[in-house]
Amino acid sequence: MRAFATYDAMILHLRSLYGETAADEVVRAIESLLVKYLGTSGSGSGEPALDHRDVLLITYGDTFNDGESPPLKVLHRFHSEHLQGVFELVHILPFHPYSSDDGFSVIDYYAVREDLGSWDDIASLSADCRIMADAVINHMSSESPWFRDFLAGDEDRSGFFTEADPEADLSAVVRPRTSPLLTRFEDAAGEDRFVWTTFSADQVDLNYRNPAVLVAMIEVLYFLISKGARLLRLDAVTFLWKEPGTSSANLEETHRLIKIMRAAIGMLRDDVVIITETNVPHHENVAYFGDGRDEAQMVYNFALPPLIAHSFIRGNSERLSDWARELSLPGDDVCFLNFSASHDGVGVRPVEQILDEAEQQALVDAATAANGLVSSRRLSDGRERPYELNCTFLDLISRPGDEVDVLVDRFVASQAIVLAMPGVPAIYVQSLLGTRNDLARVEQTGRARSINRSKHEYASITSKILDRETRQGRVFDRLTRMIRVRRVHAAFDPYAPFEIVDFGHEVFALTRGADEQAITCITNLTDRGVTIDITAERVGEELLSSTTIAAGQHTLPAFAVWWLRHGKTQGAL
């Protein structure tokens, strides 16, 4: 049931956080939870958790609606009818009852929103694919029973949420928002309680200094696993541990908490993958791999989206190639989750130490030119700085007046880089559907992030993706065909070796895999033909077109993508 080295390490981390007596109490509580959940969670497979067949679809549970069935059933139907053999992994964004932030202000971790469906719908979908669930563990809704009990003076919820003196100097705290850090609430006794609210006044931060909070959240993780989750996205973990007078971001104590959660999950099942969500500078982000065995098995590659956008906006791969060339991992069992778009915008913070200020401003200008929005964060000196570009990725890298062919070619080329990078690729549903900025939804909700959170009527969107004359149909067809090709080649294993290849700054290229399985992935970042020289060792079949590329000079068409499988030399192009 337990790996003793991991178990012993967990105890050491617990003692460091809480002292010996409290740590022992937490261990006993975890062991009780194991007894409770072992019978309902199944057993681990003992097999590698991820391989080259795995591509993740990111979607809300109600992205598709037909006006009759619960949206989770409609999502399952869309997967069954259009995505079989394409996406083995599906990330359903928070599906619990919530009060704000499109699900990230959770009221009840143990329920599915009635307007979405039921746990049976989750189980039904998980029979066809592996589910990734959100564990929103930094905060929960101010309307939640837990918080109401806290304000009511319930002894079981005492100390469950982080409080601070409003007169304390909290200027060093790193903020992802411009809203106040502390929010005043009145408790049942009529006393003011100033609660830490990192993201909004409705999202009250949990207090991990209280070991009962850690136990409660481990039970939430166990419950999600018992309901079929095989990947767990730990949301906003950057801010878990608060320490006035510090940044309260990515503290050593936070890393200890993730290591404890990793160990506890491994005691229940050995095939559940933990993904940490930390939209911070790259060197801070990759620290969540730990030593390669003791923390997250997968980390969001947050620098990748802005770097891909920069590359297509400038038609230049230099920054992306230089950064990618230095990518390294602390072990053979961890990897990146690669993406260009998600339910959130494109973060600017991850490239603050990679792109200079002018290059960062160029990203902001591109978002603005595409009728996108820019969200800011507040620095300790009171100044505001761009934090996130709210824009579909298709629009972010587009040009005013683009013809549909050019728009689609450029966008598909950007997604080809996501699919080629070492790690597991993730495609956001709005990218798969070729969606553009939804300004009407922004006006409706008043939230910048709604620009990339469109809802689709099932019959209408399926009609569009099946019509190869539409933008949506062209994007959907080309991306799904590219993924099907990727899925049959072991060179794209998440843990396979890679090497950045230099074909000049107008091209981004890398080789995945080794020896006879190696594939060189080449992407033209520009709207014109680029001459490249294919050497003898890279001669082979171009997998996306099923042609053979001979040695010598070739013109790579505008926004072209070539995946060359080495060693296939029959014929010539």
Active site residues: 235
- Yes or no: say if 385 and 377 are a contact pair by the CB < 8 Å rule: yes
List residues bridging with 369 in a β-sheet: none
What lies within 8 Å, CB to CB, of 147 at 6+ separation is: 140, 141, 157, 160, 161, 204
Gap between the Cα atoms of 281 and 306, Å rounded = 12
Q: For the CA atoms of the chain, what is the radius of gyration?
A: 24
Distance CA 317, CA 457 (A): 38
Return the closest-CA partner of residue 107 out of 115, 96, 116, 93. 96
How far are the Cα atoms of 17, 210, 211, 213 from residue 156, in angstroms, in the given order?
Answer: 20, 11, 12, 10
How distant, in Å, are the alpha carbons of 111, 228, 232, 394 from that of 271?
24, 12, 11, 34
Read out DSSP for 489-521?
A: -GGG-TTS-EEEE-S-TTEEEEEES-GGG-EEE
Q: Which of 101, 99, 3 is nearest to 44 (CA)?
A: 3
Smallest Cα–Cα separation from 360: which of 429, 422, 313, 415?
313
What DSSP element (H or E) covers 375?
strand 373-378
- Which of 263, 233, 237 has its CA nearest to residue 249? 237
DSSP string, 301-341: -TTHHHHHHHHHHHT--HHHHHHHHT---SSTT-EEEE-S-
Residue owning tokens 């003898």? 536
